[in-house]
Amino acid sequence: MTDVKNTVAPALEDESQKPSIFGFWLYLMTDTVLFASLFATFIVLRGRTAGGVSGEEIFSLPYVFIETLILLISSFVAGLALFTARARRKALTISLLLVTGLLGLAFLAMEIHEFRTLVTEGHGWGTSAFLSSYFTLVGTHGLHILIGLIWLGVSIMFILQRGFTDRFLTRLTMWSMFWHFLDVIWIGIFTIVYLVGIV
């Protein structure tokens, strides 16, 4: 890893002057605004349980903590993969990306399992305004994770077939920004939806 350690790595800063990277940054900002409106909707409707369950009754603290850990580690490994990609270490990069992807899949599986349990126990999105806004907010984040995973799969295929081209490294930088961004949104979700919901 020594030569990896000294590389100019993810070079987000070096690349921040590239119009394409800045453009992608602007996209992330607009996506943040999308999530802000979903957060606002949730905060306004969180008490409207229509006689159904409240957050305190359905959220499990350890379960959400494990989800948080998985996503945080996944985000960290994604950053490492960008370092190794800069150093053009093919096998190492692919294994790190696979670890990132598996963690992302585990997170998505946990979220789907949580949704399934809620729906089968009769707490679907049609039950109350609280549950509608909950499913919309957390589900939109989950959908972003799914898109990130598909993008990751395509990236791994690209490395296998064509190796590290300069344009590919720029695209991988964008993907890692996207993945970190989803972790930042998750901070908002676990704090506002789950922690405050349980308190």
Partner 1 sequence: MKKHIQPLPDHRKPTITAYITGFVLSLTLSGAAFALVWAYHISDNELMSRGLLLAILTLFAIAQIVVQATYFLHMSAERRARMTLVSAAFTLVVIFAIIVGSMWIMYNLDYNMIPEDPTQYIQNEENIHVTSQ
Q: What dihedral angle (degrees, nearest 10) is formed by the CA atoms of 121, 144, 140, 13?
A: 130
- The reply to whether 191 sits near partner 1 by the rule CB under 8 A is yes
Phi-psi region of 147 (alpha: psi -120 to 50; beta: other; left: phi over 0): alpha
Instruction: Give the integer Cα–Cα distance in Å for 190 and 156.
Output: 30
Selected binder of partner 1 within 90, 92, 156, 180 (CB under 8 A): 180
16 binds partner 1 (CB under 8 A): yes
Coil, helix or strand at residue 42: helix
Both tokens of 81, joined, read 């993969």
Window contacting partner 1 (CB under 8 A); options: 105-113, 130-138, 146-154, 187-195: 187-195
The Cα–Cα gap between 194 and 162 comes to 43
Of the pair 2, 161, the CB lying nearest partner 1 is at 2
Report long-range pairs for 122-127 (Cβ below 8 Å, ≥24 apart). Answer: 123/52, 123/53, 123/58, 127/50, 127/52, 127/53
| Residue 84: strand, helix, or coil | helix
- Choose between 124 and 188: whose C-beta lies nearer to partner 1: 188
- Site stretch for partner 1 (CB under 8 A), options 2-10, 92-100, 119-127, 146-154: 2-10
Task: Decide: is 182 part of the binding site for partner 1 (CB under 8 A).
Answer: no
Map the footprint of partner 1 across residues 36-95, applying CB under 8 A.
Answer: 36-37, 39-41, 43-44, 61, 64-65, 68-69, 72, 75-76, 79-80, 83
Residues in touch with partner 1 (CB under 8 A) = 1, 4-5, 8-18, 22, 25-26, 29, 32-33, 36-37, 39-41, 43-44, 61, 64-65, 68-69, 72, 75-76, 79-80, 83, 177, 180-181, 183-184, 187-188, 190-192, 195-196, 198-199
